[in-house]
Amino acid sequence: MNDIGFLKKLYFYKNDDKEDAEKAIMKFINHLWYLSEECAAFSIFDKRLSNDTRRKMAEKIMHGTPKKESQKKFILKYEDLQHFLSKKLPLDILGNNSKNIFEKFNMSTDFLKDQPDKWKEHEGYIEGKRVVESIKVVNDTVEQGVKLMTDFNEKFTKNEEQKQFVLQVVQDYRKKFPGCSKDTLKESYN
C-alpha cells in the first residue's frame, strides 16, 4: 500500500515537473518485482483500508477468481500506469494465488469468514498480523549487506587483487569456524 500510494503521488507530480516525475516513475516501477497476487494479500492486515475493501478482499481470497487466469507476478509498464492506478488496489491484484500466502506462513484464514470490524478480536487475525509485521524485506537487507561490504572494501584496500585475497581468506575462515559461539571455536581448535 505504501508503494502504490507513493506511485500515485509520483504520477500526480507530473503536473508540477513532468520530466523528473517520469524519471522517478520509471526507476520506481523497476522495483515492483515483488508485486504479486500472494503479496497483495498481505495488505488485508493494513488498517488504513476500509472495512468494505477488506471484506471484498476476504471474499476474493477465500473464493478465488474462477474466470481470471492467475499471474505469478505483475510486470508494470509505464504506458500502463494510468490504467493500473485507476484500479481498485489492492483488491484488483488479488487472485487464485492470494490464499497461498496464508498456507506458506501457516496463518489461519478463519477470520476471513467474519466481518472486518470483528477481526481485531479474532486470534487468527491477531497472529496473522503479527506474522506479517515480523517479515523482513529481503531486498533491503541484501542491499544493506552489499553496501556494508562495498564500504568495507573501499576502506580496506583499493587494489583489486588484495580485495580478492581478503575475500578468499574470509571464505576459508568461515569454513574453519562455521559459527561464532565459544563451543564452535573450541571444537575448531581441537
133-164 residues labelled b (16+ CB within 10 A) or e (exposed):
eeeeeeeeeeeeeeeeeeeeeeeeeeeeeeee
Q: Over pLDDT 70: what percentage of the chain?
A: 90
> pLDDT averaged over the chain?
84
| The predicted structure's pLDDT at residue 68 | 58
- Over 80: is that where the pLDDT of 150 sits? no
- Over 70: is that where the pLDDT of 141 sits? no
Model confidence band, residue 71 (pLDDT cutoffs 50, 70, 90): low
With contact defined as beta carbons under 8 Å apart, do 80 and 56 qualify? no
- Over 90: is that where the pLDDT of 165 sits? no
Which of 1-10, 59-68, 101-110, 148-157 is modeled with the greatest confidence?
Answer: 101-110
Model confidence band, residue 67 (pLDDT cutoffs 50, 70, 90): low
Q: Which long-range contacts (CB under 8 A, 24 or more apart) does 116-120 make?
A: 116/51, 116/54, 116/55, 116/58, 117/51, 119/54
| The predicted structure's pLDDT at residue 105 | 93
